[in-house]
């Protein structure tokens, strides 16, 4: 065994693996050059007074804590942060996770043709580019649109409940992804375990809560993290629908960062707001790793393939 592994070059705990690093090199080059470097530069710009156009467009300099001081005292920023929290809870946490789980569960028990149709529809909604999805939802929720017709034709759901519509639109556009992740997780639960629970005369709901959910913990958390990151990163959908409005009612942080950088020309401050988003993503990633740690320690054998 050992010699075969050695001949495969899997390396050992002591020696670093030259071939491994070589294989990883193209990815590292791409990530560093086109990802880390620009992000690092953006972090630097966040601490300067650079403007999009204006006296500091070409002649700008490092301003130390100035932008951070501004951030801490910026009411609009704190409101935006709140809106972002509401938005993420509404769309990622509640919306996508619940709808995705509902889809995955229902699809498991439904007839084959309906399963294919539902899957295809959810996937199409996910695959539609944000520009098209934004148009669809704008038409859907504005006066005269489909949703509006249900409430008497003249109701303007979009302008009167903008955050709700924006959350719904993001749920609609991301649930397909969630459905796929959670379906795979559900499939990984062995039938024997479920049978054993049913044998104990547990009701369907009890089986779900006490058997399925705990076994799905890893999948659910993974899905939640991914969906949160995806929704946070894809603000084009929200931007095209409302541009943060009406009157800053949906001014979530990515949109506020864009507004500061490109509308008010405060490119430096806008970059700092974008940096806050990176920090938020890091926090989520860290929490995810912490939440999974006990599970990792307990895992002994390699996982069953789905």
Q: Interaction with other proteins in 240-259: which residues (CB under 8 A)?
A: 240, 243-248, 254, 257-258
Q: Which of residues 266-305 bind other proteins (CB under 8 A)?
A: 266-267, 271, 274-275, 277-278, 281-282, 284-286, 288-289, 302-303, 305
CB-CB neighbours of 206 under 10 Å = 13
Which one, of 237, 185, 174, 241, lies nearest residue 213 by Cα? 185
Among 66, 68, 71, 123, binds other proteins (CB under 8 A): 123
Angstrom distance (rounded) from CA 54 to CA 29: 35
Angstrom distance (rounded) from CA 63 to CA 123: 46
Among 166, 167, 197, 225, binds other proteins (CB under 8 A): 225
Q: Which of residues 139-168 bind other proteins (CB under 8 A)?
A: 139-140, 142-147, 149, 154, 156, 158-160
CB of 287 to other proteins, least distance (A): 11
Encoded tokens for 44: 């630097």
Residue 29, helix vs strand vs coil? helix
Q: Does 213 bind other proteins (CB under 8 A)?
A: no
Stretch that binds other proteins, among 61-69, 88-96, 207-215, 231-239 (CB under 8 A): 231-239
Among 61, 76, 193, 206, binds other proteins (CB under 8 A): 76
Residues counted in the chain: 306
CB-CB neighbours of 184 under 10 Å = 13
Which one, of 169, 166, 147, lies nearest residue 156 by Cα? 147
Site string for other proteins, 163-202 (x = CB under 8 A): ---------x--x----xx-xxx-xx--x---x-------
């Amino acid at each position: 065994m050992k010699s075969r592994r050695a001949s495969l070059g899997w390396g050992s705990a002591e020696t670093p693996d030259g071939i491994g690093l070589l294989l990883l090199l193209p990815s590292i080059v791409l990530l560093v050059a086109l990802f880390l470097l620009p992000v690092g530069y953006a972090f630097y710009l966040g601490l300067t007074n650079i403007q999009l156009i204006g006296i500091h467009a070409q002649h700008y300099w490092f301003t130390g804590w100035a932008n951070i001081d501004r951030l801490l005292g910026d009411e609009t920023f704190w409101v935006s942060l709140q809106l972002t929290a509401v938005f993420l809870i509404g769309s990622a946490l509640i919306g996508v996770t619940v709808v995705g789980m509902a889809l995955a569960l229902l699809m498991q028990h439904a007839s084959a043709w309906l399963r294919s149709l539902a899957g295809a529809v959810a996937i199409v909604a996910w695959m539609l580019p944000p520009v098209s999805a934004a148009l669809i939802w704008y038409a859907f929720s504005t006066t005269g649109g489909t949703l509006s017709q249900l409430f008497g034709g003249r109701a303007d759901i979009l302008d009167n409940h903008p955050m709700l519509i924006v959350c719904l639109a993001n749920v609609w556009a991301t649930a397909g992804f969630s459905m796929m992740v959670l379906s795979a997780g559900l499939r990984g639960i062995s039938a024997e375990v479920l049978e054993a629970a049913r044998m104990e005369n547990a009701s369907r709901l009890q089986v779900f809560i006490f058997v399925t959910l705990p076994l799905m913990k890893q999948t659910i958390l993974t899905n939640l993290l991914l969906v949160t990151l995806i929704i946070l990163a894809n603000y084009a959908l929200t931007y095209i629908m409302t541009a943060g409005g009406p009157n800053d009612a949906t001014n979530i942080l990515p949109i506020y960062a864009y507004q500061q950088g490109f509308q008010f020309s405060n490119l430096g401050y806008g970059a700092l707001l974008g940096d806050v988003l990176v920090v938020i993503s890091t926090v989520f990633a860290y929490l995810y790793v912490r939440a999974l740690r006990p599970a990792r320690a307990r895992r002994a054998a390699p996982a069953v393939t789905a």
